[in-house]
Structure 1
Amino acid sequence: MSKPYEGAAMLVCPLELSDFQHVCAVIVSGHKVNPCGHTLLHIGKSWSWYVHISGPYNLPKFMPQSNYMRYLKENGKREIRRSPIKLPNPKGAHEKLHELIEKPWIWGAVVHNCTSFEEEVVRAGGSNAGQYFNCPIAERFG
Structure 2
Amino acid sequence: MSKYEGASMIICPLEERDFQHVCAVIVSGDGPNACGHTLLHISGSWAWYVHISGFYKAPKWMPESNYMRYLKENGKREIRRWEIKLPNPKGAHDRMHELTEKPWLWGIVAHNCTSFAEEVVRAGGSKAGQYFNCPVAERFA
Interval of TM-score (by shorter of Structure 1 and Structure 2): over 0.9
Q: Secondary structure at the match of 1:26?
A: strand
Q: Using the alignment, how far apart are the partners of 2:129 and 2:18 within structure 1?
A: 20
Q: Using the alignment, how far apart are the partners of 1:13 and 1:108 within structure 2?
A: 23
TM-score (norm: length of structure 2): 0.98
Q: Using the alignment, how far apart are the partners of 1:65 and 1:101 within structure 2?
A: 19
Aligned pairs (5 A) from 1:91-130? 91-130=90-129
Report if the CA contact (8 A) 2:17-2:45 is conserved.
Answer: no
User: How many Å apart are 1:47 and its aligned residue?
Assistant: 1.7
User: How many Å apart are 1:44 and its aligned residue?
Assistant: 0.6
Q: Using the alignment, how far apart are the partners of 1:46 and 1:126 within structure 2?
A: 21
Q: Secondary structure at the match of 2:102?
A: coil
Q: Secondary structure at the match of 1:83?
A: strand
Q: 1:72-131, CA deviations, whole angstroms, 9 ceiling, x for partnerless residues?
A: 000000000010000000000000000001100001100000000000000000000000
User: How many Å apart are 1:46 and its aligned residue?
Assistant: 5.1
2:9 is aligned to 10
1:40 is aligned to 39
Hey, which of these two has a bigger chunk of strand by percent? 2
Q: Using the alignment, how far apart are the partners of 1:58 and 1:119 within structure 2?
A: 17
> Structure 2, unaligned stretches of length 5 or more?
none
Matched residue count: 141
Matched, 1:19 2:44: no
TM-score (norm: length of structure 1): 0.97
